[in-house]
């Protein structure tokens, strides 16, 4: 499970409250490990319990926000975790499962669903490309920045993969019967 360590990473980058983390997750590390705000609040409480982070209420002026920051023990835990083994994440691709089903019973409206996913991946790609452009402009030349940009590029290539795959699937499935038997 990567959530606690994804949160530690994000909090090292910048101490934050639950809601800030939740928002920030959606546009950074959450591209590789999604989490809902409910999960984040629960997990933050656990991290604090474990002594890996501490929290304080941010001063007046803004709404009251419970801000978390990583303690040395949390940083050590993150380092420890980096060298642990974890096998490949089992693949979970509902679209592929649907295509396999379509192979034996016919399309039955799957083309529309594929188009919808294609649009979602295209949107995601646009979003990533915009991030990349922004980051290149700000680029500091540090090793950390280089690694971060490499990760973003991997995300971009994954979207290209999906877009190409879905387009090819559409071509093949358009020739496939709407209904079998």
Partner DNA sequence: TGCACCATGTAAATAGTTACATGATTGC
Partner DNA sequence: GCAATCATGTAACTATTTACATGGTGCA
Q: Binders of DNA among 29-88, rule CB under 7 A?
A: 34-39, 41-42, 44-45, 62-66
CB 54 within 8 A of CB 69: yes
Q: Can residue 110 be called a binding residue for a copy of itself (CB under 8 A)?
A: yes
Q: Which stretch binds a copy of itself (CB under 8 A): 37-45, 53-61, 108-116, 131-139?
A: 108-116
Q: How far is CA 178 from the centre of its chain?
A: 34
Tokens encoding 17: 């409250």
Q: Select from a copy of itself, DNA, none the partner in contact with residue 118, using the beta carbon and a kind-dependent cut-off of 5 to 8 Å.
A: none
Q: Select from DNA, a copy of itself, none the partner in contact with residue 82, using the beta carbon and a kind-dependent cut-off of 5 to 8 Å.
A: a copy of itself
In the bound state with DNA, the residue whose beta carbon lies nearer, of 43 and 159, is 43
What is the SS3 assignment for 56? strand
What is the SS3 assignment for 55? strand
What CA dihedral angle connects 169, 174, 175 and 179, to 10 degrees? Answer: 110
Q: Using CB under 8 A, pick the residue from 31, 40, 47, 53 that binds a copy of itself.
A: 31
Q: Can residue 121 be called a binding residue for a copy of itself (CB under 8 A)?
A: yes
Q: How many residues does the chain have?
A: 181
Q: Can residue 7 be called a binding residue for DNA (CB under 7 A)?
A: no
Pairing relationship of beta strands 66-70 and 16-17 according to DSSP bridges: antiparallel
Paired strand residues for 56? 67
Shortest distance (Å) from residue 80 CB to a copy of itself = 8
Q: Can residue 73 be called a binding residue for a copy of itself (CB under 8 A)?
A: no
Q: Can residue 53 be called a binding residue for a copy of itself (CB under 8 A)?
A: no
The dihedral through the CA atoms of 120, 118, 100, 108 has a sign that is: positive
List residues near DNA by CB under 7 A.
Answer: 1, 3, 17-20, 23, 34-39, 41-42, 44-45, 62-66, 90, 92
């Amino acid at each position: 499970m990567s959530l606690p360590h994804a949160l530690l990473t994000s909090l090292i980058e910048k101490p934050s409250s639950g809601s800030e983390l939740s928002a920030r997750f959606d546009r950074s590390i959450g591209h590789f490990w999604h989490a809902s705000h409910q999960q984040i609040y629960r997990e933050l409480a656990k991290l604090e319990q474990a002594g890996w982070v501490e929290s304080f209420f941010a001063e007046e002026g803004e709404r009251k926000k419970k801000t978390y920051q990583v303690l040395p023990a949390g940083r050590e835990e993150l380092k420890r975790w980096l060298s642990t083994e974890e096998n490949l994440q089992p693949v979970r691709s509902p679209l592929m499962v649907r295509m396999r089903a379509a192979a034996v019973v016919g399309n039955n409206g799957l083309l529309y669903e594929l188009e919808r996913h294609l649009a979602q991946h295209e949107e995601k790609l646009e979003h990533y490309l915009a991030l990349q452009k922004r980051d290149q402009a700000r680029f500091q030349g540090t090793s950390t920045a280089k690694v971060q940009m490499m990760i973003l590029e991997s995300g971009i290539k994954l979207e290209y993969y999906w877009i190409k795959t879905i387009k090819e699937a559409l071509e093949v499935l358009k020739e496939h019967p709407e209904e079998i038997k």
